Chains A and B, each alone.
Chain A
Amino acid sequence: MVLAVEVENLSVGYVDEGEEALWAVRGVNLKVLEGSIHCIVGESGCGKSTLGKAIVGILPPHAVIKGVIKIFGEKVVDGDKTLYHKSRGKLVTFIPQNPAKALNPYLRIGDQFYYVMKSLRNYDKRRALEEAGKLLKLVGLPDTSYLDKYPHEFSGGMQQRIAIAMALANGAKIVVADEPTSFLDAHLRLQILKLLDELSEKLELTVIMITHDILMASKICDHLSVMYAGLVVEDGKCKEILKNPLHPYTKMLLKVVPVLGTRKKLESYVGEPPRLDEYPKGCPFYPRCPDRLEKCLNEKPPIFRVNGRLVSCWLYGGEYERT
């Protein structure tokens, strides 16, 4: 199996003038197989969007980075050096959370597709519009008159679908989708997820989906990485994690999601992820963890290999090997 993305010991932080960097991602390892759908799940402020942006190469200028990112074996981040020009926009594209950010407000939709396809695939206008029409149809906008409209003439949900189509327009191999469905209406979310699934299969597209909705993710995803406070705390096959979550944080995520048709009691977990400037010495989940041990307060848990899964929690410290 080919690795589409390999992330080794990656840290990403943000620097404010004259101050120390605040690390949003702290030494993350990640392996994404080609053609798979890999979900990164966690609450806001866990570093999942930062990790996604680091993979695409669209971190803001005040970000600092260290570690290694390889795209199809080629290093795009090596130490603190970045070499994104070969991958960004060509091999790897981005579907942002807010669709308005993906579209130029002054250009008709058809023209926007044309410019993307002309620069990267050298299509003429007729062919580009034809292709764009097909892509729009794929994302549930079958009306060809849409190509003559401006972004503001669409609802937020439609804009997001256009943004997804646009990300696919240049034949990228890897798509990083940051909460691609959170702006969509609930009844359309599954369709979009299914579409990503279909595309992944047809085009051998690798999809890295960032989301906070673990149940939505589970509908299409093959592999799951659960992030908390800048760390990957559990990593494994999606189905296995859903069936038997190991890390207390993963368990929490599953206990707080309302499921249609069952009216289980929703657990209230107090607290939030730690602030970047008040990062704890031990396990960052300690204050919220119902299964915490004494040593969790002061000792950062290493990553244990538990039945083929990676879990960063002292609960598994007794019998399982460290990685």
Chain B
Amino acid sequence: MNVLSLRNVTVEYREWRGFKLSRLRALDHVSFSLEKGERVAVIGESGAGKTTLIKTILGLLRPVEGKVLVLGTDIYKLPKKKRHIVTVKIGYVPQSPGKALNPKLKVKTTLLEALEKSKVSEEEALKRVEEAIRLVNLDPSVLEMYPDQLSGGMQQRILIARSLVNNPELILLDEPTSALDVSTQAQIINLLNIIHEKLKPALLLVTHDLPVAQYLADRVIVLYRGRIVEENTIDELIRNPQHSYTRLLIESYL
């Protein structure tokens, strides 16, 4: 069974401007799927629909057309309040770690919150949180700290830990290293690969940074203005890009 499968997904933003309804098609008949343990990157420029795609997969944005199947269940057929039963199996690592952590909550509280809907005992929850913290190579003492006491790299590790507490089948990575320094970026890339090796979750990386995608994905999907314009293995894509955006992107790195 596929971990994630999108079938003809179309997402539109609608806005009333005076008496005129304007529609912006952010995703246009997007179809792809991820198998268990697969590592896939979605590449695209700003406005290509990358963030919309993530929101749609997380069950936060209903498509006007098409299906989003997470572990075989069409999440938008479930009532809104029940969607989390499926989406809890998706871990999510956001772009800027500084903005994604509540500065007034201890790291421990932040991590435990992620388990609130999972109906696990308090003991089990604490055990999982500590396990996740060790997996990201942090000392459990950080659990008692506040986000501003931690560096950007450590904050990102906390967010990776948060994405792991529910034993996810799929982890969504939204530009996980773009807000980090290069040396921290290398640490996070290596860490994500070690985690993938150990737990084998499927990874869906969303980025415009092709060199990073090279380390975190085997297959690449190129999104351009809401459509999939190219799909290939990463090596083949670099060797033989088809779309003009892909070519431009590759040239800028050579």
Q: Which A residues are closer than 8 A to B by beta carbons?
A: 43-44, 155-157, 185-191, 212-214, 252-253, 255-261, 263, 266-270, 272
Q: Are B182 and A212 in contact (CB under 8 A)?
A: yes
Contact residues, B176-203 vs A (CB, 8 A):
181-187, 189-190
Q: Are A186 and B210 in contact (CB under 8 A)?
A: yes
Interface centre among B181, B248, B250, B254 (most CB of A within 10 A): B181
Whether A213 contacts B182 in the complex (CB less than 8 A), given A187-B248, A266-B215, comes out as: yes
A256 and B184 CA atoms in complex are apart in Å by: 9
Can you give 16 A-B contacts (C-beta < 8 A)?
A43-B182, A44-B152, A155-B46, A185-B46, A186-B210, A187-B45, A187-B248, A188-B45, A188-B252, A256-B182, A256-B185, A257-B186, A260-B238, A263-B215, A266-B215, A269-B183
Min CB distance A272 to B, Å, is 5
10 closest A-B pairs (Cβ-Cβ)?
A: A258-B211, A190-B252, A256-B186, A260-B253, A187-B249, A266-B186, A43-B181, A185-B45, A187-B248, A186-B208
Q: Are B46 and A44 in contact (CB under 8 A)?
A: no
Residues in B with CB closer than 8 Å to A269 are 183, 186-187
Main secondary structure of the interface of B (DSSP, over half): helix
Residues in B with CB closer than 8 Å to A260 are 210-211, 214, 238, 250, 253-254
A190 and B62 CA atoms in complex are apart in Å by: 37
Q: Are B252 and A252 in contact (CB under 8 A)?
A: no
Q: Are B254 and A258 in contact (CB under 8 A)?
A: no
Does B15 have its Cβ within 8 Å of any Cβ on chain A?
A: no
Min CB distance B84 to A, Å, is 31
Residues in A with CB closer than 8 Å to B185 are 256, 258
Q: Are A156 and B46 in contact (CB under 8 A)?
A: yes
Interface residue tally for chain B (C-beta within 8 Å): 31
Contact mask for chain B residues 91-122; partner A; CB cutoff 8 A; 1 contact, 0 none:
00000000000000000000000000000000
Residues in A with CB closer than 8 Å to B238 are 260-261
A278 and B34 CA atoms in complex are apart in Å by: 47
List the A residue with the shortest CB-CB distance to B187.
A268
Residues in B with CB closer than 8 Å to A257 are 182, 186, 211
Min CB distance A275 to B, Å, is 10
Q: Are A256 and B183 in contact (CB under 8 A)?
A: yes
Residues in B with CB closer than 8 Å to A185 are 45-46, 208
A256 and B248 CA atoms in complex are apart in Å by: 24
Residues in A with CB closer than 8 Å to B182 are 43, 212-214, 253, 256-257
Min CB distance B109 to A, Å, is 25
Residues in B with CB closer than 8 Å to A252 are 183
List the B residue with the shortest CB-CB distance to A253.
B182
Q: Are B249 and A186 in contact (CB under 8 A)?
A: yes
A96 and B153 CA atoms in complex are apart in Å by: 23
A260 and B253 CA atoms in complex are apart in Å by: 6
Min CB distance A110 to B, Å, is 23
Residues in B with CB closer than 8 Å to A187 are 45, 208, 245, 248-249, 252
A268 and B181 CA atoms in complex are apart in Å by: 12
A191 and B249 CA atoms in complex are apart in Å by: 11
List the A residue with the shortest CB-CB distance to B193.
A266
Residues in A with CB closer than 8 Å to B183 are 43, 252-253, 256, 269
Q: Are B181 and A258 in contact (CB under 8 A)?
A: no
Residues in B with CB closer than 8 Å to A267 are 186
A256 and B250 CA atoms in complex are apart in Å by: 19
Residues in A with CB closer than 8 Å to B251 are 190
A266 and B212 CA atoms in complex are apart in Å by: 11
Does B209 have its Cβ within 8 Å of any Cβ on chain A?
A: yes
List the B residue with the shortest CB-CB distance to A193.
B252
